[in-house]
Structure 1
Amino acid sequence: MGKPVMKLHLIIGVLAVLAVSLVNAEDPYLYYTWTVTYGTRSILGAPQQVILINNQFPGPKLDVVTNNNIILNLINKLDQPFLLTWNGVKQRKNSWQDGVLGTNCPIPPNSNYTYKFQAKDQIGSYTYFPSTLMHRAAGGFGALNIYHRSVIPIPYANPDGDFTLLIGDWYKTSHKALQQTLDSGKSLPFPHGVLINGQTKTTFTGEQGKTYMFRISNVGLSTSLNFRIQGHSMKLVEVEGSHVIQNLYDSLDVHVGQSVTVLVTLNQPPKDYYIVASTRFTRTVLTATAVLHYANSQTPVSGPLPAAPAYKYHWSMQQARTYRWNLTSNAARPNPQGSFHYGKITPTKTIVLANSASYINGKLRYAVNGVSYVNADTPLKLADYFNIPGVFSMNAVQGVPSGVAATVATSVMPTNLHDFLEVVFQNNENAMQSWHLDGYDFWVVGFGSGQWTPKKRRTYNLVDALTRHTTQVYPNSWTAILVSLDNQGMWNMRSASWERQYLGQQFYLRVWNPVRSLANEYDIPSNVLLCGKVVGRHP
């Protein structure tokens, strides 16, 4: 009788150790409480109303580590409903937390909502910003940096410091006045200026001989920017979660919604140097400057600002082609990025998306394949979950340009979980475009001028194209991406230019599997906000 008892005790002991190990191994939880209010700040030489988070403009920097769980209670003290979206965070199996109007009811004034999401299998420089109305034009944006786990090596030495730079165009006009302009059927005027971290003057201090990381994100509304540092080269190391071949650049084009991470070595004589962000592809060039200050410097900034590139679209496209995956480096996981051979996978479907500007009922609208998106009073994700008909259409937007007059619809494109898509963004306009997909990153495999045709596939980079969440499309040109639909949910495909998004250049991808399973998607949150046609429903 003794031996079975001993075995039972041994089994119980092993199970207890395993249970403790599992508890201890759970990824850390980080808790935040953010309060959103209006406030007054002096920007571009005059006081104006801005949106603050915890009395900060820009909002607090969210520094987390791969796989951290974020529990963030957002309290809305504005006079309008409000949401934040987490730009570039994939929200694995969790579009419930994406923070856009197709997935979430906005937080009413004097109310709150607690976001619960994980920085699952990601590293890199990202941002968050308001997804409601034109709030983004007043602030409420900030940096979201995901650092690597200590057990995962990175393909460069740890930097001696880490700076975040949020660059973007800016209006002196209030967000409500800008919204009224768009609602009246007119386009926004040219911006009034460019800001770096919400300011026109700021300083970054480092020590001579040391190397610093600069995380640069374009949080503006519409304008591509060129970034450069006087007398210093920048080594590009990461783009929106991809470790890249570490080329040196004198300047970098950063388009709306995009982020890049560079290393800069302070290897020049000790003095102060200009940091410059200026508008690209605009008749009037707007410029913001900051200062890179050597700690032992006694000499202020001087001399002309470093010049922007003399060439425009072709130069920028050529630079974009030099961004390439580091195949031997890992990102958030131990396996090398190049272990996934995306170029050997045959796409299940090709989608061609053409943006356009049209007038519908006498007002300016932007469309995708002839369909201009309008928000429903009920989030599409909730309508889908509760099987409520008539909220959105899965027939309105087609996978090829329609060539007919633009119409309005709450458009959803149906896809299947584990589809592998080829998506071509065709830009037949004279305006620069920037496209973003929530819930995913994608391989940017090709850029080209003119019309895309199947023959253009011969030019694709099917070996070491980088992955990112936002890609530029040059005027009268095309950009091709490949994306593996491995994340079930309702995901926003939108213009990152907020005027165009607000006036209809967006739709949703429904990535679907008919079998409900926690292996594919998390359950609806117990604290979900209900609005529109789902009021009174129970999760």
Structure 2
Amino acid sequence: MGKMGLRCLVFAVLVLWSFSSMVKGEDDYKYFTWTATYGTASPLGVPQQVILINGQFPGPRLDLVTNDNVILNLINKLDQPLLLTWNGIKQRKNSWQDGVFGTNCPIPPNTNYTYKFQTKDQIGSYTYFPSTFMQKAAGGFGALNVYARSVIPVPYPKPAGDFSLLVGDWYKTSHTALQQILDSGKSLPFPDALLINGQSQSSFSVNQGNTYMFRISNVGLSTSINFRIQGHKMKLVEVEGSHVVQNMYDTLDVHVGQSVSVLVTLDQPPKDYLIIASTRFTGNVLNSTSVLHYINSVSPVSGPIPDAPAGQFDWSIVQARTFRWNLTANAARPNPQGSFHYGKITPSMTIVLANSAPIIGGKQRYAVNRVSHIDPDTPLKLADYFNITGVFSLTAIQSSPSDGTPSLATAVLPTSLHQFIEIVFQNDEDTMQSWHLDGYDFWVVGFGLGKWTGASRESYNLVDALTRHTTQVYPKSWSAILVSLDNQGMWNLRSAIWERRYLGQQLYLRVYNPIQNFANEYDIPNNALLCGRAVGRRH
């Protein structure tokens, strides 16, 4: 080889090395070892048992970057099986890591399981929590934040600080006692309190004149919240992975399972101010207050607690319609290449899901289209992979409401990979509902009163509707979403209100492709736990 050829070869090697180094730098591997144990905390002034992750309540904040590869070894030291689910993380081609009964065998006590997933093409504020039994009522939850890669700009200056606020209703009663109440056929009582970051009161220190990010997540079991900061405006900048039109708000409704991110500029006189979260749409209003402490504060908190909006449902619907997608922001989001616009596609399927609260066998249950879901002895994902018959049927639940007697069944709806579908959540009850779809975000295109009909589509926002993973459904109302089924797998569609989910208000979307292709879905992990009728199967 001549000198010129050698130089070309060296140059090519250097270019490839440089490129691979950049790729490696952008797609880092992050390793974690977490241990779940019981511990004692006193969030309401009385010692009670809680679930700790690495000794922390709430659990550790998981800070990641777009496209990070996460290797997380979870050691279960509880006396019950355990799964963590990553609320809002899309798990691209990887429902094996979803962390719910339908996809994973629970981790038995005194054993471990290593989750392996990537935050592919995502940014935003998310959470994690136990999906097994009623463990969420005892803790085990935490914040999961995905930051944009350095090469992708965000549509606001870098804030001076970044706070995660986990807000949720709380019981003095243990999670096992709450489970016994539900198992006996009764509903849960009203919560005892509302907590922020597992405390009845906390403090956040800030510098006057600076702007801070506040990530607010509703990690509760049942109640919507209203969030506000005394004397300060909030600029909404991100909702569950989508940059939004940056409107200013005095107060924000955040429903069960939802997360929002706001920027707050500390432009008030130097004193302490209240941070307030209140239960919404409840007869008995619970308040939780924390302190926004200016570091140069000259006086403590003073004045009454600012009230939540009095308009209730009408006010909340109006606000929800102001949450709009920022179409000019360059960030990780659905369809980042702009190959299609959601509003110009005709859905190939419409699914209408009507929730109800029937009594079945003398016990309180919750249902969708007359079916109250029960988990089988074998995770649906394993049954599908190993072709185990008799675990579920694709005809157990219908894709639209019908008359008849409610029943218990394993609810799975068949769909196909690359379908573009419309899902309508019909709420004929007097209570607030909240629905979440694992593995996806979706366009929330409409809210409306009464019964949904085909004519309701005339009110849809087909221009800049927000994408998110959880949507509220107001009483005696409907909410409509559009979903691009680009993520093969078995995905949990559930009520985010945990009593309802535990007692059957959930189902699974089987997003199916008959041809096994690793470009569409990863193979079963080597460390997959096997249980039920999958025990002894080889993979």
Structure 1 pair 396/24, CA: closer, same or farther in 2 (3 Å)?
same
What is the CA–CA distance in structure 1 between the aligned matches of 2:123 and 2:415, rounded to whole Å? 27
Moved more, 303-312 or 83-92: 303-312
- Equivalent in the alignment of 2:12: 14
Helix, strand or coil for the counterpart of 1:43? coil
Cα deviation, residue 21, structure 1: 3.0
Helix, strand or coil for the counterpart of 1:182? helix
What is the CA–CA distance in structure 2 between the aligned matches of 1:335 and 1:506, rounded to whole Å? 27
What is the CA–CA distance in structure 1 between the aligned matches of 2:13 and 2:223, rounded to whole Å? 58
Does residue 455 of structure 1 match 2:445? Answer: no
What is the CA–CA distance in structure 1 between the aligned matches of 2:507 and 2:364, rounded to whole Å? 18
What is the CA–CA distance in structure 1 between the aligned matches of 2:453 and 2:198, rounded to whole Å? 42
Does residue 65 of structure 1 match 2:68? Answer: no
Q: Is the 8 A contact 2:130 2:141 kept in 1?
A: yes
Q: How does 1:76-87 map to 2 (within 5 A)?
A: 76-87=76-87
- Equivalent in the alignment of 2:51: 51
Amino acid at match of 1:458: E
- Equivalent in the alignment of 1:481: 481
Q: How does 1:297-376 map to 2 (within 5 A)?
A: 297-332=297-332, 340-376=340-376
Helix, strand or coil for the counterpart of 2:501? helix
Cα deviation, residue 528, structure 1: 0.4
- Equivalent in the alignment of 2:221: 221
Cα deviation, residue 45, structure 1: 1.8
Structure 1 pair 335/537, CA: closer, same or farther in 2 (3 Å)?
closer
Q: How far does the alpha carbon of each residue in 1:17-59 deviate from its partner, in whole angstroms, 9 at most, with x for none?
A: 5266335513100000000000011121211000000010000
Cα deviation, residue 311, structure 1: 1.1
What is the CA–CA distance in structure 1 between the aligned matches of 2:483 and 2:335, rounded to whole Å? 19
Cα deviation, residue 402, structure 1: 1.9
- Equivalent in the alignment of 1:490: 490
Q: How does 1:395-474 map to 2 (within 5 A)?
A: 395-474=395-474
What is the CA–CA distance in structure 2 between the aligned matches of 1:148 and 1:482, rounded to whole Å? 25
Amino acid at match of 1:202: S
Give the TM-score normalised by structure 2.
Answer: 0.97
Cα deviation, residue 13, structure 1: 6.5
Amino acid at match of 1:158: K
Q: Is the 8 A contact 1:327 1:338 kept in 2?
A: no
Q: Is the 8 A contact 2:378 2:533 kept in 1?
A: yes
- Equivalent in the alignment of 2:517: 517
Amino acid at match of 2:441: D
Helix, strand or coil for the counterpart of 1:306? coil
Q: Is the 8 A contact 1:225 1:277 kept in 2?
A: yes
- Equivalent in the alignment of 1:25: 23
What is the CA–CA distance in structure 2 between the aligned matches of 1:344 and 1:262, rounded to whole Å? 31
Structure 1 pair 24/237, CA: closer, same or farther in 2 (3 Å)?
closer
- Equivalent in the alignment of 1:156: 156
Helix, strand or coil for the counterpart of 1:399? coil
Moved more, 209-218 or 37-46: 37-46
What is the CA–CA distance in structure 2 between the aligned matches of 1:8 and 1:386, rounded to whole Å? 53
Q: Is the 8 A contact 1:330 1:337 kept in 2?
A: no
Cα deviation, residue 446, structure 1: 0.3
Amino acid at match of 1:495: S
Q: How far does the alpha carbon of each residue in 1:449-482 deviate from its partner, in whole angstroms, 9 at most, with x for none?
A: 0000000100000000010000000000000000
Q: How far does the alpha carbon of each residue in 1:49-101 deviate from its partner, in whole angstroms, 9 at most, with x for none?
A: 00000010000000000000110000000000000000000000000000001
Cα deviation, residue 277, structure 1: 0.3
What is the CA–CA distance in structure 1 between the aligned matches of 2:479 and 2:160, rounded to whole Å? 37
Amino acid at match of 1:341: H
Structure 1 pair 339/536, CA: closer, same or farther in 2 (3 Å)?
closer
What is the CA–CA distance in structure 2 between the aligned matches of 1:18 and 1:126, rounded to whole Å? 35
Amino acid at match of 1:411: A
Q: Is the 8 A contact 1:152 1:333 kept in 2?
A: no
What is the CA–CA distance in structure 2 between the aligned matches of 1:25 and 1:304, rounded to whole Å? 53
- Equivalent in the alignment of 2:295: 295
Amino acid at match of 2:313: Y
Cα deviation, residue 11, structure 1: 5.3
What is the CA–CA distance in structure 1 between the aligned matches of 2:435 and 2:70, rounded to whole Å? 27
Amino acid at match of 1:329: A
What is the CA–CA distance in structure 2 between the aligned matches of 1:93 and 1:33, rounded to whole Å? 24
Q: Is the 8 A contact 2:92 2:487 kept in 1?
A: yes
What is the CA–CA distance in structure 1 between the aligned matches of 2:334 and 2:81, rounded to whole Å? 41
Give the TM-score normalised by structure 1.
Answer: 0.97
What is the CA–CA distance in structure 1 between the aligned matches of 2:453 and 2:195, rounded to whole Å? 39
Cα deviation, residue 298, structure 1: 2.3
Helix, strand or coil for the counterpart of 1:324? coil
Q: Is the 8 A contact 1:329 1:336 kept in 2?
A: no
* Percent identity of paired positions between Structure 1 and Structure 2: 73
Q: How far does the alpha carbon of each residue in 1:151-193 deviate from its partner, in whole angstroms, 9 at most, with x for none?
A: 1011111111111100000000000000000000100000000
Does residue 123 of structure 1 match 2:132? Answer: no
What is the CA–CA distance in structure 2 between the aligned matches of 1:270 and 1:17, rounded to whole Å? 54
Cα deviation, residue 331, structure 1: 2.2
What is the CA–CA distance in structure 2 between the aligned matches of 1:461 and 1:181, rounded to whole Å? 42
Q: Is the 8 A contact 1:88 1:440 kept in 2?
A: yes
Cα deviation, residue 336, structure 1: 6.6
Cα deviation, residue 404, structure 1: 1.2
| RMSD after superposition | 1.6
Helix, strand or coil for the counterpart of 2:382? helix
- Equivalent in the alignment of 1:387: 387
Q: How far does the alpha carbon of each residue in 1:188-247 deviate from its partner, in whole angstroms, 9 at most, with x for none?
A: 000000000000110001111110000000000000000000000100000000100000
Amino acid at match of 1:433: Q
- Equivalent in the alignment of 2:232: 232
Moved over 3 A (4+): 5-13, 333-340
Unaligned runs of 5+ in 2: none
Amino acid at match of 2:382: L
- Equivalent in the alignment of 2:378: 378
What is the CA–CA distance in structure 1 between the aligned matches of 2:336 and 2:175, rounded to whole Å? 44
What is the CA–CA distance in structure 2 between the aligned matches of 1:11 and 1:516, rounded to whole Å? 39
What is the CA–CA distance in structure 1 between the aligned matches of 2:190 and 2:157, rounded to whole Å? 42
Q: Is the 8 A contact 2:241 2:333 kept in 1?
A: no
Structure 1 pair 233/13, CA: closer, same or farther in 2 (3 Å)?
closer
Moved more, 339-348 or 116-125: 339-348
Unaligned runs of 5+ in 1: none
Amino acid at match of 1:18: L
Structure 1 pair 78/466, CA: closer, same or farther in 2 (3 Å)?
same
Structure 1 pair 334/180, CA: closer, same or farther in 2 (3 Å)?
closer
Cα deviation, residue 15, structure 1: 5.5
What is the CA–CA distance in structure 2 between the aligned matches of 1:124 and 1:302, rounded to whole Å? 34
What is the CA–CA distance in structure 2 between the aligned matches of 1:7 and 1:285, rounded to whole Å? 77
Structure 1 pair 418/500, CA: closer, same or farther in 2 (3 Å)?
same
Amino acid at match of 2:80: Q
